[in-house]
Amino acid sequence: MHKVVAGFACLAFTLAFITSRGQGSWERITVPTAASLYSVCFTDSVYGWAVGDSGTILHTTDGGNAWALQPCPVTGEIMTVFFLNRNLGWASAFNFTVPPFGTVLLRTTNGGDDWTATPYPQENIFINCILFFDSLTGWMGGMPHALVKTTDGGDTWNQATIDTSIFAFFPVLNITFYDTLTGFACGGMFDIAGVIWRTTNGGDIWYAIDASQAPADEVHALHIIDPQHVIGAGGDPDYGYGVGMIRSSDGGLNWAYEDIGIQGIAFDIDFRTATEAWAPLGPRRKLIWSPDSGETWNEIATPDSVSVLEITFPDSLHGYAVGHDGAVLKYHPPVPPFVPPFPGKQSGDYALNVSPNPGSSLFFITCRVPDTEVITVKLHSLSGTEVARIAEMKVFPGVHQFPFRVEAVPPGIYLVSLSAGGHLKTTRRIIIRTCTPG
């Protein structure tokens, strides 16, 4: 997710403006590679990485406008990348050329300026996805089957305990957690079955979907809307079935699969806002989007008809996607970001807003800053005690938005503060209501 090459400081090209229902537009960005890209990760709206064929690692430090190649110690396909912060990241590369065959794990502690490569200790295991909670605790999934955990930053990995149902030991394609206890993984095998695993005890044991509810093909990605509502993306290309979404409304105990009536396979899914979802259709050269949490879907063409495989939204104003032949896309909101009036005392050109307010679970904190500087956004009690740190990062002049999901915060009246350069600039009152179960 970072490092700029001077020759690519201004990147432009091929705007695909979509006006239907105001869902925004996607722009193709020129990058210094034609290698296919399989995974993209942003730590915030500024710093991002993308990985792919032939040991390709791309990095941006300016919100995806300019990308530079980073040195890489491997030449195989890099299938996934995950960064915990701007310095600490992991990736996995496939080795099919020199025995022992399997996965080479990559790790960096300086934002990708340097990567170390370590063979995964078990042969013929190919890691597809990586997720870390913190610098020590992380998960990986792979094929022909792997659902493994580390508690030492990736030095050692241990296979998770999984139930013995018929689909329990299929390939794992994606792992996501709502909190440190509640998590889901998904995968499966083409033309055999899709699988979803669930844990509610931090991964001590995982339970696979009931065979009667499993779709016919892999589930490629999941998004946890809240602890009860989860949606997964996939599809069945045979006999014209096309894109399918699988849903649970009871915390993953039961699942319902739906063909949404659009040809293709959804290779990923992510939400731009609490209700607006996006998914790429790969070789179909389409994106689909939903304004209502996946209840209805709309289909649009990609810029330059590129094939997109993975999509991510670090916040509601910024989105990125990658795919075949060096495809990198950047999202533009449907209208220029609007900063509503900011009542109350403000310092200079600094401004702060909270929406919705009152609210119960997910808030969006919007701030405006006049200069490039390090900002800190915090939640305080009325007595001034810090309750949560919402954001702390270097930002450029302009408007920035941060999602804030309330967890273990009692209902009541609180203050959100914006500091810059170590000095308090402004505060805003926020009312947190009791969360009503979905």
Average pLDDT per consecutive 10 residues, the chain (438 residues; last block may be shorter): 29 32 83 98 93 98 96 97 95 93 97 97 96 94 94 95 83 93 94 93 92 94 94 85 95 96 96 92 97 95 97 90 98 58 52 86 89 91 83 89 86 86 85 62
How far lies 322's CA from each of 128, 242, 326, in Å? 16, 21, 7
pLDDT at 162: 92
Q: What single-letter DSSP state applies at residue 14?
A: -
Residue 1 has a pLDDT of 31
Q: What is the DSSP string of 380-438?
A: E-TTS-EEEEEEEEEE-SEEEEEEEE--S--SEEEEEEEEETTEEEEEEEEEEPPPPP-
Encoded tokens for 386: 């810090």
Instruction: At 379, list the tokens.
Output: 């939640």
pLDDT value of position 348: 57
Reported pTM: 0.74
Q: Which residue has the tokens 């093909």?
A: 217
Provide the pLDDT for residue 239. 62
CATH ID of 6-332, from 3.40.50.880, 1.20.120.1200, 2.130.10.10, 3.30.870.10? 2.130.10.10
Q: Give the model's pLDDT for residue 411.
A: 83
The pLDDT of residue 80: 98
Q: Are residues 114 and 158 in contact, defined by beta-carbon separation less than 8 angstroms?
A: no
Residue the block writes with tokens 């300019």: 66
Sheet of 116-119: strand order equals 78-83, 89-95, 102-108, 116-119
Nearest 5°: CA angle at 119, between 40 and 43? 25
Residue 10, Cβ density class (10 Å: 0-12 exposed, 13-18 middle, ≥19 buried): exposed
pLDDT of residue 140: 97
Report domain extents, the chain: 6-332, 351-432
416 and 390 Cβ atoms separated by less than 8 Å: yes
CATH class of the domain whose range is 351-432:
mainly beta
Overall residue count recorded for the chain in this entry: 438
Give the pairing of strands 172-177 and 37-42.
Answer: unpaired
Specify the pLDDT at position 413.
79
pLDDT of residue 362: 87
